[in-house]
Structure 1
Amino acid sequence: MKKLLCLFTVALLAFTSCSKDDNDSPNPASSILVKKITDIDIDGSSATRSYVYNGNKIVSITDEDSSILKYTYTGDFISKIEEIDKKGDLAVTTEYSYTNGKLTNEIEKTPNGTYYFKTKYTHNADGTVSYDNFRGTVATGVEQEYGATGKYTFKDGNFVKLEVSYYGNESSYVYEYDTKNYPFKNVTGLNLLLDDETTANNVVKETSTSGSGANIGTTVTTYAYKYDVNNYPTEKIKTYPSGSSTASKTTQITY
């Protein structure tokens, strides 16, 4: 943030004093960014991802196998993410476009692919966001509906429900949150992408329902956290159904 400078006019033997307020004084919390995440499975195996930024804009995420996600911005909007495999080859490119500051199109391409895959988002008057998936032919640009349709419902900066329809199969996901800071809340533009990053807080419970009639199944996944002094999570424990019992996965977060 900008720092106020006291300007002294010596010739006039006068000065303008600097005043401090909460809006203009530096706010270290706005610079808190994830540097490393380590996922630890129930068998003790682990995988680490490293994060690089330019200011508050994310530049890349590197897995320990050397595969990379590279981010490109247009202004303050994420316009492209490139997936680079561990051999250094481009595997997938996802491009994003916006209208009036809101995500409207997401296009996924593979090098030399016959098709590309597009998700179109519609921002509804009630605050929900609907989406439709399409497949397009690279050579002709002809598109047809392909895959799922659905709708996101938001509350207090978090998406609290996701409804999905996939060729007649209906699913819904309901999310509950804490009131603490989401690890990536300070990353420029990330909250505009409609995925797991579109949150302000941390999910503590996920209830998924799928099927129809007598064949409806429900699964509940819970999350527990440890927080630092700034109310950012440093550890997340995910507990989920596994057969007739439950299993867990631990994520450690370094800022």
Structure 2
Amino acid sequence: MKKILCLLSAVAFVFASCSKDDSSDSTSSVLVKKIIDIDIDGSSSTRDYEYNGNKIVSMTEDGLLSKYTYTGDYITKIEEFDTEGKVDLTTEYTYTNGKLTTSIEKNTGAKYYYKTTYVHNADGTVSYDNFRGTVETGVEQEYGATGRYTLKDGNLIKLEVSYYGDERSYLYEYDAKNNPFKNVIGLNLLLEDETIVNNIVKKTEISGSGTNIHTTLTTYTYKYDANNFPTEKVESYQSGSYVSTQTTQFVY
């Protein structure tokens, strides 16, 4: 969870202007209840979601629980619990004029906390910077990645990441159908991988410089229900001659 690389599985990212709830839309109450990830070797993991209306209350993944706290329509805290039911990680979010400005992650009992600040630029991009702070003193220093998100029509189309001289960019292409989390209030503001309007069909990662450019490609294919929400996603990752796949199933 620490945003050292702040990569999206990226994730994707959206603003308040893209999160309107059209009550006349018969699909506005469609919410994903279960997600099952199946690896190429047949092993799997399951995420179960609970809601209060269109607000997410909790997510349970293989016995581990995450709880969500709202202030109005904004998610302001996510708490992750260990197998003994104790809070292991807390992430708190702040907003300015309806846009995310900071996220702070604190591991229980840790010496440091990790903070990301977001600047919403005039050209519509969002720049971010990572910091590490000392819990005891509150003193912070730059630590980890910096970068910039470029969005279009509510979807992340480009992520640029700089990590101690390692420069990477991620390019995203989408279909025109509904993302499983499209109707969840507040998720579209968090600048994370499950906060997009549509579904990723292609992700290109570019790293290196000069004559040493390395490109990896991930493609996604879907099956959809009658409401154009995906019921299955097959992710294929290719880097050179290496290829791996993962299947994800969605239950509403």
1:54 to 48, 52, 55: 52
In structure 2, the CA distance between the partners of 1:142 and 1:32, relative to structure 1 (3 Å rule), is same
1:96 corresponds to which residue?
A: 93
Structure 2's unaligned 5+ residue stretches are: 1-20
**Does the residue aligned with 2:188 lie in a helix, a strand or coil?**
helix
**How does the TM-score come out when normalised to structure 1?**
0.88
Cα distance in 1 for residues equivalent to 2:146 and 2:23: 45
Aligned residue identity for 1:138: V
1:189 corresponds to which residue?
A: 186
**Does the residue aligned with 2:110 lie in a helix, a strand or coil?**
coil
Deviations 1:119-165 (A, max 9, x none): 00000000000000001111111111110000000011101000000
Q: Does 1:228 align with 2:248?
A: no
1:169 corresponds to which residue?
A: 166
Aligned residue identity for 2:59: I
Cα distance in 2 for residues equivalent to 1:223 and 1:148: 27
2:13 corresponds to which residue?
A: none
Cα distance in 2 for residues equivalent to 1:245 and 1:137: 41
Q: Does 1:68 align with 2:103?
A: no
1:158 corresponds to which residue?
A: 155
How many residues end up aligned between the 2 structures? 232
**Superposed displacement of residue 27, structure 1:** 3.8
Q: Does 1:218 align with 2:196?
A: no
Relative contact order, higher structure (CA 8 A, sep 6+): 2
Q: What RMSD in Å do the two structures reach over aligned CA positions?
A: 1.5
Contact 1:159 1:198 in 2 (8 A): no
Identity of aligned residues (%): 69
Aligned residue identity for 1:221: T
2:39 to 38, 41, 44: 41
**Does the residue aligned with 2:211 lie in a helix, a strand or coil?**
helix
1:18 corresponds to which residue?
A: none
1:136 corresponds to which residue?
A: 133
In structure 2, the CA distance between the partners of 1:203 and 1:25, relative to structure 1 (3 Å rule), is closer
Greater shift after overlay, 206-215 or 161-170?
206-215
Cα distance in 2 for residues equivalent to 1:153 and 1:182: 19
**Does the residue aligned with 1:29 lie in a helix, a strand or coil?**
coil
**Superposed displacement of residue 24, structure 1:** 9.0
1:252 to 246, 249, 252: 249
Q: Does 1:238 align with 2:231?
A: no
Structure 1's unaligned 5+ residue stretches are: 1-22
1:205 corresponds to which residue?
A: 202
**Superposed displacement of residue 88, structure 1:** 1.5
**Does the residue aligned with 1:48 lie in a helix, a strand or coil?**
strand
In structure 2, the CA distance between the partners of 1:226 and 1:112, relative to structure 1 (3 Å rule), is same
Cα distance in 2 for residues equivalent to 1:169 and 1:31: 42
Structure label with greater radius of gyration: 1
Aligned residue identity for 1:49: R
Contact 1:221 1:238 in 2 (8 A): yes
Cα distance in 2 for residues equivalent to 1:195 and 1:63: 17
In structure 2, the CA distance between the partners of 1:85 and 1:224, relative to structure 1 (3 Å rule), is same
1:77 corresponds to which residue?
A: 74
Deviations 1:7-42 (A, max 9, x none): xxxxxxxxxxxxxxxx99754311100010111111
1:10 corresponds to which residue?
A: none
2:30 corresponds to which residue?
A: 32
Deviations 1:192-245 (A, max 9, x none): 001112311000000001122232210000000000000000000000126624
